[in-house]
Structure 1
Amino acid sequence: MLNTNRYWIVIDFMKSSKLLILAAICLAACNQPDKKTETSKQTIDTTDATTTRTASIPTDKLIIPGKSIGQTALNDNGADVTRRLGRPDAGDAAMGKSLSIWYANHNSKGYQTMIYASRQMGTDDETSRVKQIRITSPWFITKDNVRVGSTLEQIEDLYRPQKTAWFKKDSKKFDIYQGEGIAFEIDNQQKCTAIMVFTPDIKPGATYLPFYDNLELY
């Protein structure tokens, strides 16, 4: 004979189990991430990472076209620059113009920092001002991650420079590509060997004359 009490207990248990299963399904559905929101979050995170990477470049190694390389800015007082960098290892000066060269570890075969400065003679302000800066060290870098050692392809994608001049050193030819406020020396392997910064109003060719004695224009 069927035990009625046991029968109803079984039925109640089955009903309770179904309710628990339905509740679990609803809870799982509520906890599913919204795909649109997740995608937006990924985009924000990526943007923040890019901003952080750019902002993380120390000012003393940042190249800014038309403005500065590291701590040296265009139109800085030349005397202040010399006090900061120390006495140049080489250079030349005449008629209110000067070219100063610093070598890494004072080794002439090391990386170079070259600064061309000039003064407006016969004016109220005859302070020697920085007009052009040239470096060969890959330690300096632009906000777009271009540095000495970057390829011409990378540089062309970012700066759209024009090939304006060339020179030879140790029987090797180097081309100069000029963008707005910045120029790049490129070797025969299509790699950057030096970067120059200058005021954007300087005409192609006139930019590099202080640095080379055998420059040829295209």
Structure 2
Amino acid sequence: MARFTVLLLAAVSFMACNQPASKNVKAEQTTVTSSSTSSEVDKSSVSNNQLIVPGKSIGQTALNDNGADVTRRLGRPDAGDAAMGKSMSIWYANHDSTSYETMIFTSRQMGTEDETSRVKQIRITSPWFVTKDSVKVGSSFEQIEDLYQPKKTAWFKKDLKKYEIYQANGIAFEINNEQKCTAIMVFTPDVKPGATYLPFYDNLNIY
């Protein structure tokens, strides 16, 4: 399937499905700005809208959710592509392609009784989302390694910088040269290493 290009909202669009998308974006950007200055997460303040659950969900979007329902909640992506029952969408914070992004890969089983397009993988770059162990974008690899013991499974280059991908059970982390997490992905635990990330990258190198 060809490389998908896409644009739109904010990773925070995961927040409130009962509010207009533009308000969701503004509210989340405020939250991200205020919370990302701290390396520690106050567990008592983490809502389900922020929670990353390996193998299950990020915020309000869960694996195997109906793709059409997710799009209705987050709003229409600026662009997208689909082929052979698979599709990718990206939402950018404040419609700014240099800002935080949410990527969602969906797939449908063609020729089966249920051909509903389902969410299979979710990737975010916003530090607003966090695991119950206080891991988020910006966390150190040392912290991630202590908690998840992930295995290095792939790498890619972007803007001449190298990023390593480390995978654990139902979750993966992109790590830069400074040993900081730059993105987090959630997927079903049965996905094979490497195949997990293929929808997101066209220059992936698998170990």
Q: If the length of structure 2 is used for normalisation, what is the TM-score?
A: 0.79
Of the three residues 44, 48, 61, the one matched with 1:59 is: 48
Q: 1:56: how far off?
A: 3.6
**Residues 62 and 141 in structure 1, CA contact (< 8 A), matched pair in contact too:** yes
Q: Is structure 2 residue 127 aligned with structure 1 residue 138?
A: yes
Q: Distance in 1 between matches of 2:121 and 2:44?
A: 25
Residue equivalent to 2:102: 113
Larger Rg: 1
Residue equivalent to 1:157: 146
Q: Deviations over 1:160-202 (max 9, x none)?
A: 0000000000000000000000000000000000000000000
Q: 1:55: how far off?
A: 5.0
Task: Report the identity percentage.
Answer: 80
Residue equivalent to 1:194: 183
Unaligned stretches of 5+ in structure 2?
1-41
**Residues 173 and 187 in structure 1, CA contact (< 8 A), matched pair in contact too:** yes
The one-letter code sitting in structure 1 at the alignment partner of 2:140 is T
Of the three residues 48, 65, 69, the one matched with 2:58 is: 69
**Residues 183 and 196 in structure 1, CA contact (< 8 A), matched pair in contact too:** yes
**Residues 184 and 192 in structure 1, CA contact (< 8 A), matched pair in contact too:** yes
Which protein has greater RCO, CA pairs closer than 8 Å, 6+ apart?
2
SS at match of 1:82: helix
Q: Distance in 1 between matches of 2:83 and 2:54?
A: 27
Q: 1:92: how far off?
A: 1.7
Q: Distance in 2 between matches of 1:151 and 1:56?
A: 21
Q: Is structure 2 residue 92 aligned with structure 1 residue 97?
A: no
Q: 1:147: how far off?
A: 0.2
Q: If the length of structure 1 is used for normalisation, what is the TM-score?
A: 0.75
SS at match of 2:49: helix
Q: Distance in 2 between matches of 1:136 and 1:208?
A: 15
* Structure 1 moving runs of 4+ over 3 Å: 53-56
Unaligned stretches of 5+ in structure 1?
1-52
**Residues 90 and 102 in structure 1, CA contact (< 8 A), matched pair in contact too:** no
Residue equivalent to 1:5: none
The one-letter code sitting in structure 2 at the alignment partner of 1:112 is E
| Aligned pairs, number | 166
Q: 1:57: how far off?
A: 1.2
Q: Which has the higher helix share?
A: 1
Q: Is structure 2 residue 192 aligned with structure 1 residue 213?
A: no
SS at match of 1:60: coil
